[in-house]
Amino acid sequence: MNEKLLKPYNPQETEDRIYKTWEESGFFKPENLPGERKEPYTIVMPPPNVTGVLHMGHALGTTLQDLLIRFERMRGKRALWIPGTDHAAIATQSKVEKDIQKQESKSRHDLGREELLKRIDIFARESHDTIITQLKKLGASCDWSREAFTLDEARSLAVRTIFKKMYEDGLIYRGHRIVNWDPKGQTTISDDEIVYEERKAMMYTFKYSKDFPIAISTTRPETKVGDTAVAVHPEDERYKQYVGKEYDLEFAGVKLHIKIIADKEVDKDFGTGALGVTPAHSMIDWAIAERHNLPKPQVINEFAKMMVGDERILNKKTTEARVAIVEWLKSENLLTEEKEITQNVSTAERTGGIVEPLPKLQWFIAVNKEFRGTTLKEIMKKAVEGGQINFVPEHFTKTYFHWINNLNDWRQIWYGHRIPVWYRGNEVYCDINPPENGPHSAEASRGAWEQDPDTLDTWFSSGLWTFSTLGWPHSAEASRGTPNDLETYHPTNTLITAYEIIFFWVARMIMMTGYALEQIPFHNVYFTGIVRDAQGRKFSKSLGNGIDPMVIAEKYGADAGRMAIVMSGSAGTDSKLSEDKIKGYKHFANKIWNVTRYILENTKDLETPDMSRLTESHKKLVEDMQAIVKDVTKDIEEFRFYMAGEKLYQYFWYTFADVIIEESKGMLKNGSVEEKISIQNTLRIILETMIKALHPFIPFVTEEIWSMLPHSAEASRGKPKQLLMVESWPQ
């Protein structure tokens, strides 16, 4: 018997050594797996942001992905798990800018684009190295030779290629549109990156001037210096006589030309039933202005300061201008009512700044434009509607469709994929490579090409993730005449990701893959919930309730953390986790270790377990165990990971250890020769089967124990003993 078993199990002395053995074996690469493996099984890792370190949410996703890939690898499939990290443009740039401001009192504009990008690259590399170390600590059996980064050259080529393709298909266009502008972060943000906060506000009801016939209501009087119309419902009898009339007036020192228009989008029962239309500072008002051909003057700048008016409001912050305009309204006896209300205020998720709708010249993706007999929105709908993609749990399908049905064309920062468009005079050049000479024109001859300074939304590049990581638009493997990764491993099998990015990422991957390949990116999407503390609270620095997966691995072993997190909840539901629970699974690893010691001590003379040497009662014990494994197999196939783990835990501890092993003691001591041989074989068969079945859940301790077993079932069939990670899954 191995001398290690004479001591308590020590994960700190075992796990790093075992992981090194796995890496050196080459079995993380599907090409190196033993035997003939025709059926592929692919997972792409949701790339962690290079903004810091992994948290328990990452630990949950990583563990479940590793569980699946180990399970399918043992089932004889060409299991490929592609790892990677995400440049997370806004988050990473924001983090580095904050550090620079804090340490050097400088802004990005003080540094300039090149210096800022250099600083971000250094930060991203350091963060990347930390993340990879952490993933390995958790036991992630990824093919590191295929590791990707959303901003590396291969992904950049994919981004430039897809941009050019969409541009040529008329699906990408440039135009002035209202965007969500974060004055604090000085960047555009998507609708999905807005956090709505309930706040108290004052609702003001007033007229623009004494002679103006209609009163309007707003919480933002400062924006009214940008009004070009008042919209009323066409069926509102109160205002029908005014529709079509135009008024020139002066409002708080600013000359306005206001037209009364009728629009069905106006809610005649809200406020006065009349809407002051501010086209440049409201998405709703912009749409109204487009329908009625109204001018769209901008009156607030990127720093949330006023661009018009006299000394009372010019260059003042919007909040200051609001006070000044309300005072003016009162002095002119134009204010008829002010009352406190509760409203949802749009704030930027990353910075907490209040979002300011502003008109910007931006690049947009046209989700409703028809091409090849479909639209991008239809691609997203049909893939899930037709059952090609399965959501776990299923109820997220409704959430997905609700978002798509309300999806608008989607979209300035310095860190990210630069838009592959160049300008020279009046010419526009779009290609995957910079122009050398470009199109010829009189304007072109007078200047050099300049690339668009804007960068693409980070979700644009990560939307290509499943196929760009497999060699699209071309593959080095294909050029050498070997099978193309894209043909072999795409569509991928399962995506495991947090439910809060169903819109950010999942939907965009479905859209981009459908467009580029006319395929789905994956067959299944398993949504994890949020990992919370024992009281159900989110982990946070302020509460001091955080659980660091790396500290857990050092303290209790990665296996204990993995088992605890798998058993903490089901798909799509938030779960509770405590150190006590993790400690309990450390005891489980010790239990397996002690059971192994007992069995090997009492089966020294047994080289290879033999089912034919079992008595009928012991055959029944093995059959009962095999029924458990069959259930576990079905549970994993159907993504009931916690149920599979629970069945294995309950069986090993309470049936195998507490009942079968306890009963074996008397038999080994006082039983007949036949009974002794039978129970020895039974113990070894159950132990070997359980070690295999537990391997995807707790890979380190099971691999270590497997290395100590004198023979395996495979060895009895004339095969050499090998690493547990590539042994056959128990049938």
* Position 444 pLDDT exceeds 50: no
**What mean pLDDT comes out for the span 215-225?**
96
At 163, is the secondary structure helix, strand, or coil?
helix
pLDDT mean over 594-622: 94
Query: 112 versus 142: which is more confidently predicted?
Result: 142
The residues near 289 (Cβ < 8 Å, ≥ 6 apart) are 228, 229, 277, 279, 295, 296
Q: Residue 475: its pLDDT value, please? A: 55
- Average pLDDT, stretch 405-412? 72
Query: Per-residue pLDDT for 283 more than 60?
Result: yes
Binned at pLDDT 50, 70 and 90, residue 438 comes out as low
Q: pLDDT confidence of 412, banded at 50, 70, 90?
A: very low
- Identify the residue with better confidence: 77 or 474: 77
Local confidence band at 715 (pLDDT 50, 70, 90 cut-offs): very low
What pLDDT, on the 0 to 100 scale, is given for residue 443? 43
Average pLDDT over residues 325-329: 97
Percent of the chain exceeding pLDDT 70 equals: 93
pLDDT band at 669, cuts 50/70/90? very high
Whole-angstrom distance, CA of residue 409 vs CA of residue 174: 11
**Average pLDDT in the 655-677 region?**
95
- The pLDDT value given to residue 115: 85
When comparing pLDDT for 708 and 539, which is higher? Answer: 708
Q: Which residue has the higher pLDDT, 443 or 68?
A: 68
- Whole-angstrom distance, CA of residue 57 vs CA of residue 59: 5
Q: What integer pLDDT is reported at residue 150 of this predicted model?
A: 83
CA 524-528-532 angle, to 5 degrees, is 175
Q: What is the rounded average pLDDT of the residues 552-558?
A: 93
Q: Which of 397-401, 581-585, 647-651 has the highest mean pLDDT?
A: 647-651
In this prediction, residue 546 has a pLDDT band, given cuts at 50, 70 and 90, of: low
Q: Quickly state the pLDDT bin for 102 (edges 50, 70, 90).
A: confident
CB 464 within 8 A of CB 156: no
Task: Give the pLDDT confidence of 301-310 residue by residue, as tens digits.
Answer: 999 999 999 9
Q: Which residue has the higher pLDDT, 41 or 534?
A: 41
Global confidence as pTM: 0.80
Q: Report the alpha-carbon distance of residue 173 to residue 123 in Å, rounded.
A: 33
Min mean pLDDT across 455-459, 475-479, 634-638 is at 475-479
Please list, residue by residue across 196-219, b when 16 or more beta carbons sit within 10 angstroms of its beta carbon and e when fewer do.
eeeeeeeebbbbbeeebebbbbbe
Q: Check pLDDT > 60 for residue 382.
A: yes
Q: Give the 3-state secondary structure of residue 450.
A: strand
Q: What is the pLDDT of residue 482?
A: 53
Q: Is the pLDDT of residue 90 over 50?
A: yes
Residue 77 pLDDT greater than 60, yes or no:
yes
Query: Burial of 333 by CB count in 10 Å (0-12 exposed, 13-18 middle, 19+ buried)?
Result: exposed
More confident residue, 437 or 332: 332
pLDDT reading at 720 higher than 70? no
Given a cut of 80, whether residue 260 has pLDDT beyond it is yes
Tell me: the pLDDT tens digits for 510-541?
999 999 999 999 999 999 988 888 888 877 65
Per-residue confidence (pLDDT) for residue 411, from 0 to 100: 61
- What is the pLDDT, as a whole number, of residue 88? 63
Query: pLDDT band at 622, cuts 50/70/90?
Result: very high
Kindly indicate the confidence band of residue 586, based on its pLDDT and cuts at 50, 70 and 90: very high
Please report, for residues 127, 222, 415, 717, the alpha-carbon distance to residue 130 in angstroms, rounded to integers and kept in the order given: 5, 48, 21, 43
pLDDT given for residue 452 in this prediction: 87
pLDDT at 461: 83
Mean of all residue pLDDT scores within the chain: 89
Mean pLDDT for the stretch of residues 531-555 = 79
For the CA atoms of 659, 662, 664, 668, what is the dihedral angle to 10 degrees? Answer: 180
Higher pLDDT, 719 or 726: 726
Can you give the pLDDT at residue 440?
46
% of the chain beyond a pLDDT of 90: 67
Give the H or E element holding residue 258.
strand 254-262
Encoded tokens for 65: 């992905």
- The rounded distance, in Å, linking the Cα atoms of 212 and 194 is 36
Residues 6+ apart with CB under 8 A from 601: 1
Q: What per-residue confidence (pLDDT) applies to 531?
A: 86
* Region 104-120 average pLDDT: 81
Domains of the chain (ranges; CATH) run 33-171+367-413+457-528 (3.40.50.620), 187-357 (3.90.740.10), 420-453 (no CATH), 578-726 (1.10.730.20)
Query: Mean pLDDT over residues 543-552, rounded?
Result: 78
State the average pLDDT over residues 331-341: 95
